[in-house]
Each structure stands twice: as C-alpha cells, then as structure tokens.
C-alpha cells in the first residue's frame, strides 16, 4: 500500500482496515495515521519511508526518529529510507 499526503486520507483508512503486507509512506502521512490510530506497526516486517531524504534535508529528522521509536522492539526485516 502507498500512503502520501496531498490526497484524502479516508481511502487510505479504508485500505488499512483490510490489512497490508507492505506499506510505502511518506513520513508525514504515516505520522498522521499513527496519531489517528488508523495504522498499527506492532507486526510490521517491511517499512519504506519515501521522500525521507527531503525530510532530512528540510530538518525534520525528528519525524524519522519518532517513527523509528514506534517500531516494535524486534527490528523489522527491512527498513528502506528513500
């Protein structure tokens, strides 16, 4: 599943309810879903953070650190930061 801002969050919420195997997301939209309780990372195996390089360039390392702190103690199999 791909999640990103700039579009309605409602279709993303609907798709998340059915469960996803791989989630590709911009950090900001992932945080939006985490704050709303519409995504659960407790059983995550693959996480791709798209546009993370831009987020880091803009000084938003805090968002990346926050997302990484929410991941389960057992490290996901893959964390890909694009």
The pLDDT value recorded for residue 6 is: 93
Higher local confidence (pLDDT), 7 or 65: 7
For the chain, report the end-to-end CA distance as a whole number of angstroms. Answer: 16
Q: How many Cβ atoms are within 10 Å of 67's Cβ, its own excluded?
A: 20
pTM of the model: 0.78
The residues near 63 (Cβ < 8 Å, ≥ 6 apart) are 27, 28, 31, 55
Higher local confidence (pLDDT), 73 or 31: 31
Q: Can you read off the two tokens belonging to residue 18? A: 């059915």
Listed by start position, the domains of the chain span 2-81
CB-based burial of residue 61 (10 Å sphere; 0-12 exposed, 13-18 middle, 19+ buried)?
exposed
Digit-coded pLDDT (tens) for 1-22: 899 899 999 999 999 998 888 8
Higher local confidence (pLDDT), 63 or 17: 17
Tell me: pLDDT of 49 over 90: no
2-81 homologous superfamily: P-loop containing nucleotide triphosphate hydrolases (3.40.50.300)
Secondary-structure percent of the chain, ordered helix, strand, coil, rounded to 5: 40, 15, 45
């Amino acid at each position: 599943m791909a999640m990103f801002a700039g579009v309605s969050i409602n279709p993303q919420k609907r798709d998340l309810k059915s469960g996803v195997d791989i989630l590709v997301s911009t950090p900001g939209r992932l945080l939006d879903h985490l704050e709303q309780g519409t995504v659960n990372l407790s059983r995550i195996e693959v996480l791709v953070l798209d546009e993370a390089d831009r987020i880091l360039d803009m000084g938003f390392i805090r968002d990346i650190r926050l997302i990484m702190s929410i991941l389960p103690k057992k490290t996901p199999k893959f964390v890909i930061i694009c």
